[in-house]
Amino acid sequence: MRSTHRAVSSALFACLLLAGCSSTGADGAKDSGKGSPAAGPSQTASQADTSGSIPVGAGPQKSYTVQQQPAAGSCHYRYENGEPLQDPMCSPGAISPAVTQANLKSTICRKGGYTGDIRPPESVTRKEKELNAASYGYTGRLGDAEYDHLISLQLGGDPNDYRNLWVEPADPGHKTGSGVNNKKDPVETKLHTAVCNGSVTLTAAQHAIVTDWTTALSKLGLD
């Protein structure tokens, strides 16, 4: 009886030992030991962060290169009272790590301006705009659409992360051929003023404009 007990115990021990060495998970799939890579400026659009937090981009660069854009036709505009909104899956926004609540006075709120020193050159954004227009299926005149930073540079948006840029169509009633003219720009300026005078936090302004730029001011009590 004792020998039988020892045999069973030895068998159980060997079984547990083998099970402990296996990398097969409960669902039968083997664990590769590698996590999913974080989305970054040089990664494909399908890897964009959709967790609800705003992705962080690479920040200002000494030189910029054309960033890969979402696949053609994969992005879709939304509209609020006729005003265009970005596709949050393609363009969730991205913030610059160089701008924080603690350094506002030396970055976006500094005298003399900030955005001119970090803006990508037209030689880069022109190509990106063409590619992003294809992503959104935009077929209008490119000269009437703005290649827009969803979170503007004056609100600490990343300069050249594809997640923070989208081809913004003209406002309703816009005359074709009359150039860029949209209502989002004044909203960005008011938010910038509010951040710099301490009325709202940088994070609150960024989240408000990412969610819906048409309601950003009212949500923050600034309209």
> Could you report the per-residue pLDDT of 32-42, keeping only the tens digit for each?
333 322 333 33
Contact 200, 190 (CB under 8 A): no
pLDDT, the chain, mean: 81
The better pLDDT of the pair 25, 107 is held by 107
Q: Which of 205, 202, 197 is nearest to 221 (CA)?
A: 205
Q: Is the pLDDT of residue 25 over 80?
A: no
Share of the chain above pLDDT 90, in %: 67
The pLDDT of residue 27 is 32
Q: Phi and psi (nearest 5°) for 185?
A: -60, -45
Q: Is the pLDDT of residue 31 over 80?
A: no
Beta-bridge partners for 79: 84
How far is Cα 189 from Cα 186, in angstroms, rounded to an integer? 5
Q: What's the N-to-C CA distance of the chain in angstroms?
A: 86
What tokens does 125 get?
């954004």
Q: Is the pLDDT of residue 13 over 60?
A: no
Q: Which of 158, 211, 148, 156 is nearest to 183 (CA)?
A: 148
Half-sphere exposure of 198 (CA within 13 A, CB side): 2
> Could you report the per-residue pLDDT of 64-120, keeping only the tens digit for each?
999 999 999 999 999 998 899 999 999 999 999 999 999 999 999 999 899 999 999
For residues 121-145, average pLDDT: 96
Q: Phi and psi (nearest 5°) for 30?
A: -80, 140
How far is Cα 166 from Cα 147, in angstroms, rounded to an integer? 6
CB atoms within 10 A of CB 80: 11
Q: Is the pLDDT of residue 50 over 90?
A: no
Q: Is the pLDDT of residue 17 over 70?
A: no
For 46, which DSSP code? G
Q: How far is CA 72 from the centre of its chain?
A: 18
> Could you report the per-residue pLDDT of 208-221, keeping only the tens digit for each?
999 999 999 999 99
- Helix and strand numbers (H, E) in the chain are 5, 4
Give 178's pLDDT tier (boundaries 50, 70, 90): low
The pLDDT of residue 36 is 27
How far is Cα 203 from Cα 156, in angstroms, rounded to an integer? 9
Contact 95, 156 (CB under 8 A): yes
Share of the chain above pLDDT 70, in %: 74
How far is Cα 92 from Cα 79, in angstroms, rounded to an integer? 16
